[in-house]
Structure 1
Amino acid sequence: MSGAVVRVDTTSPVPPYEQIRAQLAALITAGRLPEGERLPTVRQLAADLGLAAGTVARAYRELEAASLIRTRRGAGTRVAPVPARADRPDPAAELAALARGFVGQARALGATEEQVTAAVRAAFRE
């Protein structure tokens, strides 16, 4: 993954596999991981993050089920072509997952609801 970074907060209420899935999905849909980009193997990403391989495998399975990645024997796991906007599912579930992760990390920092809301508004203005 060229420059893209996935982080897992083990103190977050969001399960690690969901954090990985949501972050990779966001990178793919935003175009920061382009079509054809090779992802690390399950074992490599698990080792890099200090997690069990099954945790990363679950995230990859869910990304594959969402048609965001493709795994082929001998070719590894690569970013799939992003479906046309009309073919994409409703982003509400993805937004909810991203929001849960963000709020969990904000709480760990001790941020209030008002501070979190202000940060999101400021990000939209950037």
Structure 2
Amino acid sequence: MNSPAIRVDTSSPVPPYEQIRAQLAALITTGRLLERERLPTVRQLAADLGLAAGTVARAYRELEAASLIHTRRGAGTRVAPLPSRAPDPDPTRLTELARRFVTHARTLGAEGDAVMTAVREALEELP
């Protein structure tokens, strides 16, 4: 993983492991990180971000549970092949994700129109 940078905002109400997980998941699902591309080791990414290794390890565990990455001893952690067609999203999970986004947007002072504009722009940017 050379180009895309992961950033963690320690002042954010979103836990650092979740920020890492979400950013890597977005990079993988949008194709910016390619299948079989190697990710930094837990220790290396933790050192780069100035975080505890356990924080990065948790993000990696959650990505592995979501089948976005896989780790093999000696081969490191790599981007897993994406399924050919994603299953229909769980409406309950989708609603929970939307609630979290709105909550975080409101902590930034965003009103409804600004939140909707941000969502529309994100939808247009991502495949």
**Could you say whether these structures have the same fold, taking a TM-score greater than 0.5 normalized by the shorter chain as the test?**
yes
Residues 13 and 104 in structure 1, CA contact (< 8 A), matched pair in contact too: yes
- Tell me the TM-score normalized by structure 2: 0.80
Q: Is the 8 A contact 2:105 2:115 kept in 1?
A: no
2: distance between equivalents of 1:56 and 1:34? 20
Residue 29 of structure 1: aligned partner: 29
Shift of 1:25: 0.9
The answer to which structure, 1 or 2, has the higher relative contact order (CA under 8 A, 6+ apart) is 1
Q: Deviations over 1:38-88 (max 9, x none)?
A: 0000001011111100000011011111111111111110001011214x4
Q: How far is the alpha carbon of 1:10 from its aligned partner?
A: 1.2
Structure 2 counterpart of 1:83, which letter? P
Aligned to 2:120: 121
CA distance change for structure 1 residues 58 and 125 in 2, over 3 Å: closer, same or farther? closer
Q: Any stretches of 5+ residues in structure 2 without a counterpart?
A: none
Q: What's the TM-score, normalizing by structure 1?
A: 0.80
- Number of matched residues? 124
Percent identity for Structure 1 against Structure 2: 67
Question: Which residue does the alignment assign to 1:74?
Answer: 74
Correspondences of 1:90-109 after superposition (within 5 Å): 90=89, 93=93, 96-97=96-97, 100=100, 104=104, 107-108=107-108
Counterpart of 1:39 in 2: which secondary structure?
coil
CA distance, structure 1, for counterparts of residue 63 and residue 113 of structure 2: 33
The Cα shift of 1:24 comes to 0.7
The RMSD of aligned alpha carbons is 2.7
Q: 5+ unaligned residues in a row in structure 1: which ranges?
A: none
